[in-house]
């Protein structure tokens, strides 16, 4: 995934020099199939000083792009992981570079927001588990229970509750939205909705995203789950376009759901070009057709149930008459 290319593809005239340098350097590194230690060192020396000057959006893209790369430079990963959880979430959830000692240090430094994200990793280290359990936080306890197969409450924690319990996270989101309102680069028709879906996808909680996605499209959860599927597909892309998401926002959502969906620059460019060619009105017409099919299926199911009830009732009456 080469998120940095969105800076050039979405707005060729915008962006600071720090943003451009950071995105270009990460793009170059991600394009190398087997980078040498010298490549990682060069990226680290160039990128780490730029983080303080780069915009939240570009730092967020950098974290997502590097989240599954085992040979990413550790000092850069640690710097990004110590950023606000809106930016660091992909690394906290998936980065193989972060070891238990690193994660414990991040929890001690950043607090419960980072701890909740880290708790969703597959954790076997006893010291890290003890650090997480020390919070006595329902969200953390639920995530750890799911890993060990212990019974958990059937009530899912709503995304709004997570936001309410994390004022720092909420403030960061508002700052990001304010930043994006100041520029036309990569904006969605409904930027608040785009941010909300991106947050839900990057939190690595599929049930959260499925619920928010179904609500946005006014579809059943079952239909939403079918559309989302297990990998990048045309129906999901059309659905995101119908909601007015920009190519950048759509790509962030797809990455939060499925990881690295475009692993080279060429495929990323093709995605942006093809996504921009989707007509929003036609995409909405497709969604309306899905709703019609959904309602038709519900009606057929209801008629089948009524026919079965009638048949059972008729059979019962015949039996009573014979007796």
DSSP letters spanning 200-238 = HHHTT-HHHHHHHHHHHHT--HHHHHHHH-SS--HHHHH
Asked if the model's pLDDT at residue 109 lies above 70, the reply is yes
Asked if the model's pLDDT at residue 173 lies above 50, the reply is no
- Compute how many other C-beta atoms are within 10 angstroms of the C-beta atom of residue 238: 20
Measured CA to CA, the distance from residue 14 to residue 12 in angstroms comes to 6
Measured CA to CA, the distance from residue 180 to residue 234 in angstroms comes to 27
Name the nearest CA neighbour of 37 among 63, 73, 69. Answer: 73
Which CB contacts under 8 angstroms, 24+ apart, belong to 195-200? 195/249, 196/159, 197/240, 197/243, 197/245, 197/249, 197/253, 198/249, 198/252, 198/253, 198/256, 199/86, 199/159, 199/173, 200/159, 200/256
**Could you give the count of Cα atoms lying within 13 Å of 159 in the half-sphere of its Cβ?**
20
Q: Is the pTM of this model over 0.85?
A: no
Say how many residues make up the chain.
323
Express each pLDDT in 26-71 by its tens digit. 888 887 878 888 989 999 999 999 999 988 888 888 888 888 889 9
Higher-confidence position of 262 and 110: 110
Question: Residue ranges of the domains in the chain?
Answer: 1-95, 99-153, 189-313
Asked if the model's pLDDT at residue 292 lies above 50, the reply is yes
3 state SS of 145? helix
Express each pLDDT in 135-144 by its tens digit. 988 888 888 8
- Compute how many other C-beta atoms are within 10 angstroms of the C-beta atom of residue 58: 26
Name the nearest CA neighbour of 240 among 295, 280, 184, 291. Answer: 280
Name the nearest CA neighbour of 10 among 279, 280, 252, 281. Answer: 252
Measured CA to CA, the distance from residue 23 to residue 230 in angstroms comes to 28
- Compute how many other C-beta atoms are within 10 angstroms of the C-beta atom of residue 204: 20
Q: What local confidence, expressed as pLDDT, does residue 316 receive?
A: 53
Measured CA to CA, the distance from residue 50 to residue 96 in angstroms comes to 23
């Amino acid at each position: 995934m080469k998120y940095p290319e969105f800076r050039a593809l979405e707005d060729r005239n915008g962006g600071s020099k720090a943003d451009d340098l950071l995105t270009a350097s990460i793009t170059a590194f991600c394009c190398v199939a087997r980078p040498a230690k010298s490549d990682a060192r060069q990226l680290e020396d160039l990128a780490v000083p730029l983080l303080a000057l780069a915009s939240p959006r570009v730092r967020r893209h950098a974290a997502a792009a590097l989240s599954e790369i085992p040979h990413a430079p550790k000092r850069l990963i640690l710097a990004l992981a110590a950023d606000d959880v809106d930016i660091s979430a992909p690394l906290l959830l998936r980065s193989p570079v972060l070891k238990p000692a690193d994660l414990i240090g991040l929890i001690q430094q950043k607090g419960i927001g980072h701890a909740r994200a880290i708790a969703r990793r597959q954790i076997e280290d006893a010291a890290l588990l003890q650090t997480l359990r020390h919070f006595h936080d329902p969200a953390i306890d639920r995530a750890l229970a799911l890993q060990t197969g212990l019974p958990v409450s059937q009530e899912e924690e709503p995304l709004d509750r997570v936001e309410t319990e994390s004022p720092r996270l909420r403030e960061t989101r508002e700052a990001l939205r304010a930043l994006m309102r100041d520029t036309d680069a990569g904006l969605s028709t409904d930027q608040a909705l785009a941010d909300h879906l991106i947050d839900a996808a990057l939190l690595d909680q599929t049930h959260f995203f499925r619920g928010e996605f179904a609500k946005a499209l006014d579809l059943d959860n079952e239909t939403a789950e079918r559309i989302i599927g297990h990998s990048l597909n045309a129906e999901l892309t059309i659905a995101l376009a119908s909601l007015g998401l920009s190519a950048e926002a759509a790509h962030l959502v797809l990455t939060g759901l499925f990881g690295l969906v475009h692993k080279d620059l060429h495929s990323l460019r093709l995605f942006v070009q093809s996504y921009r060619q989707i007509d929003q009105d036609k995409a909405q017409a497709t969604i309306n057709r899905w709703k019609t099919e959904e309602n038709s299926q519900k009606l057929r199911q209801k008629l089948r149930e009524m026919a079965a009830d009638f048949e059972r009732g008729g059979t019962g009456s015949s039996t009573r008459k014979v007796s």
